[in-house]
Amino acid sequence: MEMDDPILDILETALDLSEMVDMDGDRDQFAEDIELYAPGYLEMEAMGRAEEYDVARLRDGEEAAEIYRQRD
C-alpha cells in the first residue's frame, strides 16, 4: 500500500486486503464519512493541496454525530 496515494485509494486497498476487519462499506461510504469528519479535505486533496488542509476544520465524533442526525 502506498501511503502517498489519495485517502480513498488507501482505504479501499486496506479493505480489499482485509486490513480493516471491523470496517465495511465502499468508496462512496468512505467519501461520505471523510466529508463528515473532515469537510473539504477530499476537494483539497483532489487539487493536490492536502497538506494545506486546516486541521482546525476537523470535527469530533459528537459534532459529526449531530450533523449526521440532522440529515435524516
> Residue 62 domain-assigned?
yes
> Residue 31 domain-assigned?
yes
> Residue 11 domain-assigned?
no
- Mean pLDDT by groups of 10 residues along the chain of 72 residues: 87 81 80 96 97 97 94 78
> Residue 9 domain-assigned?
no
> Residue 28 domain-assigned?
yes
Q: What is the pLDDT of residue 62?
A: 95
> Residue 30 domain-assigned?
yes
Q: What is the pLDDT of residue 21?
A: 65
Q: What is the pLDDT of residue 18?
A: 78
Q: Which long-range contacts (CB under 8 A, 24 or more apart) does 34-42 make?
A: 34/7, 34/8, 36/64, 36/67, 36/68, 37/64, 41/7, 42/7, 42/8
Domain count, the chain: 1
Q: Which of 40, 16, 39 is nearest to 27 (CA)?
A: 16
Using the CB atoms, write b or e for 6-37: b if 16+ within 10 Å: ebbeebbeebeeeeeeeeeeeeeebeeebeeb
Domain that holds residue 35: 24-71
